[in-house]
Amino acid sequence: MANINTSKFADHTFDAIVIGSGISGGWAAKELCDKGLKTLVLERGRNVEHLKDYPTATKNPWDFPHRGRLSLELSEENPIASRCYAFKEDATHFFVKDKEHPYVQEKPFDWIRGYQVGGKSLLWARQTQRWSKYDFEGPARDGFAVDWPIRYDDIAPWYSYVERFVGISGNKDGVDTLPDGEFLPPWEMNVVEKAIRKRIVETYKDRHVMIGRCAHLTKPEEIHHQQGRGQCQARTLCQRGCPYGGYFSSNSSTLPWAAKTGNLTLRPDSVVHSILYDEQKGKAVGVRVVDAHTKEATEYFANIIFVNAAALNTNLILLNSTSSRFPNGLGNDNGLLGKYVAFHNYRGSLSASMDGYEDSYYYGRRPCAVMMPNFRNVHKQETDFLRGYMVFYSAGRGRSGAGPNGEQLGAAYKDALSEPGNWGIYMMMQGETIPKESNYVSLSTSEKDAWGMPLLKVSVGYDENDEKSMKDFLVQGAEMLDKAGCKNIHTNDSKQAPGLDIHEMGGVRMGRDPKTSLLNEYNQLHACKNVFVTDGACMTSTGTQNPSLTYMALTARAVDYAVSEMKKGNL
């Protein structure tokens, strides 16, 4: 092969390689390094060091030329990225810009990405809920996708393990559809949220309402101090990078931890092109990397490879890893690589108002909402659509919009602005979508990016099930808000394209049978045992929960297995 720098072969050999340094890659790195493996993390984006590389973290609103909004030019240049609520003046530097990394939309798909050390862990909204036993049993019970090769009890100890390190705030609610975890003190509902909760749980015996659970240090423990992290100050400026380490990111937590072991080599600006398969050894031996700037190609070698490039990029890398043994992509004996991609349906939302409670306010900017675990089709099929949705709501007081006589100018208006306005309520869904063979990604045969990688073609859309589920949410949501005493209830279908949920999953799904899945119960490629996929690509179904906590738990579990197999000489 041309352009391969083999002169530093010895320097290029490690015990393990991790592709990607985001939420799941950071966890793979930490666990591998903690277990004594010399680990190379390859990250396509630039380096972002905790604190040092958060240029906007301590800016005031007036320090931003557009007061935090996007300039017209930036939003016109980035129609995809600017649809994401967090793509604002204070955080655009952590987002992929549309023109830099093109892809092919066979159907509309807003692919939101963060290419840098830390990946999207810098940008995420940090909501973290465990899956329940009902979620893992779902596909087998309802007859879609394939059966998960694991159950809740297999992953529960790993949730606990990850939660203690990350620091998750939450209340122990004792609800089996959203199991409790190892929680730091919870955030608090405000008076209106409590009132709505009371009326909903009194009216509906099958519905639970609880404060959100999120990766924020409400009361740091020793393990968090050891990471150099401190208490969250409730500012919700997290997408800038947190100067206190108040929320969990790879940059503030797993990567510096891994570095402290002395076993980590982090190589930013390294675009992984493909995984190298050795026909004689019958296993993967390393990766081919293209330097992000010089475009020089090189190779790195290791015993174990963890692929954590985020769901769709992991699909891309595996599809691009061809050999005579795997002409259609690494591990792709059954032709299903790239298929059964799913996501979360966020289309439905409601707004409303609540009279009264004018003597009450709340302190700070809480980084979570109130949530209701899915109550649809949990124990048996009971609607005309499969699965269900989680519901989130929050209540807050806006600014008083006008003076007592409707003034929008002058002293009376100015005085009014310093008073809180009426209570408003926002409610939204996070719906499960059903993985289908017809929702897939594949590689372009005609177009390549600047690093010689084929462009990813995305062909993922909604179906009738998603429409029915959303309509059900809008009816149920309106009824719940009405019963809770809200007024001015409005429903909305955003009609947003898939992708904007930023919870894309699948394509390299786990399963029991190598004929119908790519990965086994330890996230190991059935057909290439020393390659592990533990990001969203591995997900057999989507559940209704925010997914990243599950990626972290699956990653820690898979590393534990990989290292024990390696020590037994099986890898």
Ligand X SMILES: Cc1cc2nc3c(=O)[nH]c(=O)nc-3n(C[C@H](O)[C@H](O)[C@H](O)COP(=O)(O)OP(=O)(O)OC[C@H]3O[C@@H](n4cnc5c(N)ncnc54)[C@H](O)[C@@H]3O)c2cc1C
- The 332-371 contact track toward ligand X, x by CB under 6 A, reads ----------------------------------------
Contact 33, 258 (CB under 8 A): yes
Query: For residue 568, what is the enclosing H or E element?
Result: none
Asked if 184 touches ligand X (CB under 6 A), the answer is no
Contact 428, 127 (CB under 8 A): no
> DSSP H helical segments within 103-146, as ranges?
133-142
List Cα–Cα distances, 239 to 52, 65, 282, 310, in angstroms: 15, 18, 43, 18
Question: How far apart are the C-alpha atoms of 495 and 337, rounded to whole Å?
Answer: 28
- Spatial strand order in the sheet of 505-507: 104-105, 454-459, 440-448, 339-342, 505-507
Asked if 247 touches ligand SF4 (CB under 6 A), the answer is yes
Asked if 123 touches ligand X (CB under 6 A), the answer is yes
- Cβ contacts of residue 201 below 8 Å, gap of 6+? 207, 208, 209
Indicate the residue among 314 and 465 with the shorter CB distance to ligand X. Answer: 314
Question: How far apart are the C-alpha atoms of 260 and 361, rounded to whole Å?
Answer: 44
Span of 54-62, 109-117, 139-147, 395-403 interacting with ligand X by CB under 6 A: 109-117
Span of 9-17, 42-50, 138-146, 441-449 interacting with ligand X by CB under 6 A: 42-50
Question: Is residue 177 helix, strand or coil?
Answer: coil
The one-letter amino acid code at 170 reads: G
Q: Could you say which of 88, 126, 197, 199 contacts ligand X (CB under 6 A)?
A: 126
Which one of ligand X, ligand SF4, none interacts with residue 237, CB within 5 to 8 A by kind?
A: ligand SF4
Asked if 234 touches ligand SF4 (CB under 6 A), the answer is yes
Q: Could you say which of 42, 318, 390, 559 contacts ligand X (CB under 6 A)?
A: 42
Asked if 538 touches ligand SF4 (CB under 6 A), the answer is no
Asked if 213 touches ligand SF4 (CB under 6 A), the answer is no
- Cβ contacts of residue 95 below 8 Å, gap of 6+? 78, 81, 84, 86, 87, 112, 113, 114, 123
Q: Output the residue with the shortest Cβ distance to ligand SF4.
A: 246
CB of 245 to ligand SF4, least distance (A): 8
Beta strand 454-459 with 370-372: parallel, antiparallel or unpaired? Answer: unpaired
CB of 206 to ligand SF4, least distance (A): 33
How many residues of this chain bind ligand SF4 (CB under 6 A)? 13
CB of 83 to ligand X, least distance (A): 11
Q: Could you say which of 548, 553, 559, 563 contacts ligand X (CB under 6 A)?
A: 548
Footprint of ligand X (CB under 6 A): 19-25, 42-45, 84, 86, 112, 114-116, 119-121, 123-127, 271-272, 308-310, 313, 317, 502, 535-536, 546-548, 551
Footprint of ligand SF4 (CB under 6 A): 216, 232-238, 242, 244, 246-247, 367
